[in-house]
Chains A and B, each alone.
Chain A
Amino acid sequence: MKKYQLAICISLFMVLSLVISGCNPAAPVEKKAMKVGFSIPLTGAAAEKGAPIGQGQLDAMKYINDELGGVNGNKIDVAWYDTNYDSQKATAIAKKLMEDGCMFFTVVASKDASASKEIANRAGFPGLVCFSSPSLTHPPKHIYAQLPDYGDDWAAFSRYYLKNIWKGEGKPKMALELLNNSTGYGVRDAARAAADQLGIEIVATEEHSATTISETDALNRIKSKNPDVLFISSTPAPTAIILKNASDLKMLSTMTVGCAHASFTKALIDAAGKDVCQGVYGVYPTVNWGDDVPGMAKRIEYCTKRHPEYVGNNDYLVGWASSLINAEIIKQALKTTSVDVLAKGDAAAWQLAENTGLLNVKGYDVAGLHGPVDFSNPLDKRGSKSVKIFQINNGGMVSLTGWVDSPNIQYENLDWFGK
């Protein structure tokens, strides 16, 4: 009887191990295409921003493959996963993308990127982040930012404010109203690093959670400090509450209000109402929906056809631009490297994609959609370095400036950075 049991066990074990080893894919011989990975918070807490960006990315990849015939005639494979805005999932997805044989990967959200950055940096797997925070690109390693981060928004807005709006004597007084995650903290860090240098006095820093339903108490504290300008870095729903409360407290008539790009979308105007938003300034790193630039027509065509719910949403544009940059990176890499080497998607391919691809992207204009992209500076890992200042007028966003440069803040030299 016992021998019988033993035999059953052994045979079970054998069968199991056979089944498992059967799962091991025998190295496929067919020619592989080059592959790019996408880690997208399509659902979850950040879906309001993540979904339009991600859909923009995927639509642009479809456009590149279908209409442009890929890059230099080579179709690009797309591997994308939904992170659900969950750190642990984002890390697992970064690993999955490495195993899938991607050349490099793009991440939409800064939270997902900070979860996967160490994995990518360890392996030398280059990553491109759409909405980034300073901690991702400082110190510079293998993670690149597509656009200026929230801290840069603040710096650009402050410069614009000092130059064009501020009429008084001495230093203007600024209050910050920040979301309690990296969206807000990026601005806090930048203000700490550069406020003195720019000549701005920060008089109040208030935090709020994403679930806030009333900010009147915080705004009253801000009001008692009598600031000249209020800067908000948050997502649309809380920003709408802040603006509404500020208008209730009659603050909007006496002070200038600026928003960082996380909240400055159509959703904000819809949520707060156009009367409340009237005259609010905002920073956004791309051109406006419908502006006359070369890449706009195709983008609107795809958006209306495939995702009509995002028409008028500038976030979709960020995603679209992100994929155009992907194509440019591959184009640069293909100048010196062959398709087969890149398509392997192993450590050597990652290194080549970074050194011959990413680092060679210089002055690429992204079909005019956002500031020129330049990854060649080893100390500044931000692609585009410029933003635009907008103002809300009659429920629409009006661009006030051309590209405003936002120089890299050298956080590495500050001993408190990240603490």
Chain B
Amino acid sequence: MELLIQNIVTGLTTGMIYALIALGFALIWKSSGVANLALGQLVLISSWFTYGMLVQLKIPFLIGMLLTIVFAILLGWLIERLALRPLIGQPILSLIAVTLGLAYFLEGLTAFIWPQGQGYLPKAFPQDPIQIGTATVQQELLWGAVISLVLFILLSLFFKYHKMGIAMRATADDQLAIQACAVPVNRIFSMSWIFACIVAAIGGILISSIAAINYGLVETGFKSFSVVILGGMESFLGCIIAGPLIGICETFGGSLFGSSVKELIPFLIIIIVIMFKPFGLFGEERIERI
């Protein structure tokens, strides 16, 4: 019983971190229909940037955070302007491939500036553990879950009620029609990339203050693809539900079949979901016509 509760609690909290990264993915997909495979690298580079600010330049914590957000905004704008915009109207293959090229480039950039490969951020949250019934949970993971929830609520409200959010959804639906309504599609695209980079930066700071900054962040990015697939690509609600689900599957899989299985579970879920319910739990099923 004790083990069961612990598994659920650990799974839920680690899953919320996956969900946080996945939100950044859903954001871009929802507004521009581009699949961002450079997710992990965005997390990686913003974590390293924070490291550069806080540890290498010894800037006070809050100012460092602020600078990271500014950096994320610039990064998002630059990526959209330089790599994505020239490819508007190109086949989906090019759009996927360009994010792969971007992934490589960003990874190289981090290796170029921070070749040490491993960095530790100062701890952002209190370290004392919290007891939930019989289960123990790291306080930082709980904070992570809270931040994901807050971001989820903010983003959902934004997309539902804000003028820009509505325009973003409309853009994903039909680019030509929305252009005819005199909505600046280009600005919408860059806004979505900027938001996504901010979300990635927040996720990056969170994870790397718990563990360390290293290439593993990119793999965490891959794992959160399972969240978007399970939740449905354009659904924030899907992310926030699928993340913890996957976290729980991981811990239970680890309990039942040995801990080496933990690594496999997100990818198995991807294959299973794609074979049986390709559009996920809350995704929108699109019917194709010639």
Instruction: Please tell me whether chains A and B touch each other in their complex, using a CB distance cut-off of 8 A.
Output: yes
Given A48-B117, A211-B220, A213-B207: A221 in contact with B255 (beta carbons within 8 A): yes
- Could you tell me if B117 and A45 are in contact, using CB atoms closer than 8 angstroms? yes
| Size band of the interface chain A makes with B | 35 or more
From B129, B216, B217, B258, give the contact of A248 (CB < 8 A): B129
Give B79-98 as 1s and 0s: 1 = Cβ < 8 Å from A's Cβ atoms: 00000000000000000000
- Confirm or deny: B111 has a beta carbon within 8 angstroms of a beta carbon on chain A: yes
- Could you tell me if B10 and A216 are in contact, using CB atoms closer than 8 angstroms? yes
Looking at A51, A208, A217, which has the most chain B CB atoms within 10 Å of its CB?
Answer: A217
Give A196-207 as 1s and 0s: 1 = Cβ < 8 Å from B's Cβ atoms: 000000000011
- Could you tell me if B138 and A245 are in contact, using CB atoms closer than 8 angstroms? yes
CA gap between A245 and B140 in the complex, in Å = 12
Which residues from B are CB-within-8-Å of A213?
14, 17, 141, 207, 210-211
Which residues from B are CB-within-8-Å of A304?
none
From B6, B118, B220, B259, give the contact of A237 (CB < 8 A): B118
Given A209-B216, A249-B136: A217 in contact with B116 (beta carbons within 8 A): no
Q: How many A-B residue pairs have CB under 8 A?
A: 106
Mark out the residues of chain A between 24 and 58 whose CB falls within 8 Å of any chain B CB in the assembled complex. 42-48, 51
User: Nearest chain B CB to A234's CB is how many angstroms away?
Assistant: 12
Q: Which residue of B lies closest to A237 (CB)?
A: B212
CA gap between A206 and B261 in the complex, in Å = 11
CA gap between A214 and B207 in the complex, in Å = 10
B interface majority secondary structure: helix
Mark out the residues of chain B between 248 and 272 whose CB falls within 8 Å of any chain A CB in the assembled complex. 251, 254-255, 258-260, 262-263
- Confirm or deny: A218 has a beta carbon within 8 angstroms of a beta carbon on chain B: yes
CA gap between A30 and B3 in the complex, in Å = 71
- Could you tell me if A209 and B210 are in contact, using CB atoms closer than 8 angstroms? no
User: Nearest chain B CB to A272's CB is how many angstroms away?
Assistant: 10
- Confirm or deny: A220 has a beta carbon within 8 angstroms of a beta carbon on chain B: yes
Which residues from B are CB-within-8-Å of A180?
260, 263
- Confirm or deny: B11 has a beta carbon within 8 angstroms of a beta carbon on chain A: yes
Given A214-B10, A216-B137, A217-B254: A209 in contact with B262 (beta carbons within 8 A): yes
Q: Which residue of B lies closest to A204 (CB)?
A: B259
Could you tell me which B residues sit within 8 Å of A by CB distance?
2-3, 6-7, 9-11, 13-14, 17, 111, 115-118, 120, 127, 129, 135-138, 141, 207, 210-212, 214-217, 219-220, 251, 254-255, 258-260, 262-263
CA gap between A294 and B217 in the complex, in Å = 42
Q: Which residue of B lies closest to A216 (CB)?
A: B10
Mark out the residues of chain A between 187 and 245 whose CB falls within 8 Å of any chain B CB in the assembled complex. 206-214, 216-218, 220-221, 224, 236-238, 240-241, 244-245
- Could you tell me if A217 and B11 are in contact, using CB atoms closer than 8 angstroms? yes
CA gap between A206 and B3 in the complex, in Å = 15
User: Nearest chain A CB to B83's CB is how many angstroms away?
Assistant: 25
From B6, B214, B220, B263, give the contact of A220 (CB < 8 A): B6
- Confirm or deny: A271 has a beta carbon within 8 angstroms of a beta carbon on chain B: yes
CA gap between A42 and B116 in the complex, in Å = 8
CA gap between A244 and B125 in the complex, in Å = 14
- Confirm or deny: A270 has a beta carbon within 8 angstroms of a beta carbon on chain B: yes
- Could you tell me if A207 and B211 are in contact, using CB atoms closer than 8 angstroms? no
Given A47-B116, A217-B10: A209 in contact with B138 (beta carbons within 8 A): no
Looking at B7, B13, B138, which has the most chain A CB atoms within 10 Å of its CB?
Answer: B138
A interface majority secondary structure: helix
- Could you tell me if B212 and A271 are in contact, using CB atoms closer than 8 angstroms? yes
- Could you tell me if B6 and A216 are in contact, using CB atoms closer than 8 angstroms? yes
Given A45-B214, A221-B3: A248 in contact with B136 (beta carbons within 8 A): yes
- Could you tell me if B263 and A224 are in contact, using CB atoms closer than 8 angstroms? no
- Confirm or deny: A273 has a beta carbon within 8 angstroms of a beta carbon on chain B: yes
Given A237-B214, A248-B129: A217 in contact with B255 (beta carbons within 8 A): yes
CA gap between A245 and B9 in the complex, in Å = 14
- Could you tell me if B137 and A43 are in contact, using CB atoms closer than 8 angstroms? no
Which residues from B are CB-within-8-Å of A51?
115-117
From A43, A47, A210, A216, give the contact of B216 (CB < 8 A): A210
13 additional contacts (CB under 8 A) given A45-B214, A211-B214: A45-B215, A47-B116, A207-B258, A209-B219, A209-B262, A210-B214, A211-B217, A217-B11, A217-B254, A220-B7, A221-B3, A224-B2, A270-B120
Given A44-B117, A271-B120: A214 in contact with B141 (beta carbons within 8 A): yes
Given A43-B115, A44-B215, A220-B3: A214 in contact with B260 (beta carbons within 8 A): no
User: Nearest chain B CB to A383's CB is how many angstroms away?
Assistant: 27
- Could you tell me if A214 and B117 are in contact, using CB atoms closer than 8 angstroms? no
Q: Which residue of A lies closest to B118 (CB)?
A: A48
User: Nearest chain B CB to A86's CB is how many angstroms away?
Assistant: 11
Which residues from A are CB-within-8-Å of B254?
217-218
The 9 lowest CB-CB distance pairs between A and B, nearest first, are A47-B117, A211-B216, A248-B129, A237-B212, A48-B118, A217-B10, A43-B115, A217-B251, A220-B6
Q: Which residue of B lies closest to A210 (CB)?
A: B216
User: Nearest chain B CB to A263's CB is how many angstroms away?
Assistant: 12
Q: Which residue of B lies closest to A46 (CB)?
A: B117
Q: Which residue of B lies closest to A51 (CB)?
A: B116
CA gap between A224 and B255 in the complex, in Å = 12
CA gap between A206 and B259 in the complex, in Å = 6
